[in-house]
Amino acid sequence: MIKLGEMQELEVTKKVDFGVYLKSPHDEKGDDRILLPLKQVPENTAAGDKINVFVYRDSNDRVIATVKRPKIVMGEIAYLKVVQMTRIGAFLNWGLEKDLFLPFKEQVGEIKLNGEYLVGLYVDKSDRLCATMNLFNVLRTDSPYKVNDMVKGTVFSLKRGLGAMVAVEGKYLGLIHEGEILKPLHAGDVVEVRVSHIKEDGKLDLSLKDAPRLQIDKDGEKILNTVVKNKGFLPLTDDSSPEDIKEKLNLSKSSFKKAVGRLMKRNVIEMTRDGIRLADGSKKIENKSTQRPNRNLNNKYAKTPKRK
Q: Find the range with the poorest average confidence among 88-102, 201-215, 231-245, 272-286.
A: 272-286
Tell me the C-alpha distance between 192 and 153, whole Å: 7
The length of the chain in residues reads: 308
Q: pLDDT by residue (tens digit) across 116-132?
A: 999 999 999 989 999 99
Tell me the C-alpha distance between 24 and 186, whole Å: 43
Q: Find the range with the poorest average confidence among 54-58, 217-221, 235-239.
A: 217-221
Question: Would the pTM of this model clear 0.75, i.e. be above it?
Answer: no
Q: Find the range with the poorest average confidence among 138-142, 203-207, 297-301.
A: 297-301
Q: pLDDT by residue (tens digit) across 26-80?
A: 877 667 899 999 999 999 999 999 999 999 998 888 999 999 999 999 988 889 9
Tell me the C-alpha distance between 105 and 120, whole Å: 14
Q: Is the pLDDT of residue 293 over 70?
A: no
Q: Is the pLDDT of residue 210 over 90?
A: no
Q: Is the pLDDT of residue 157 over 60?
A: yes
Tell me the C-alpha distance between 155 and 131, whole Å: 18
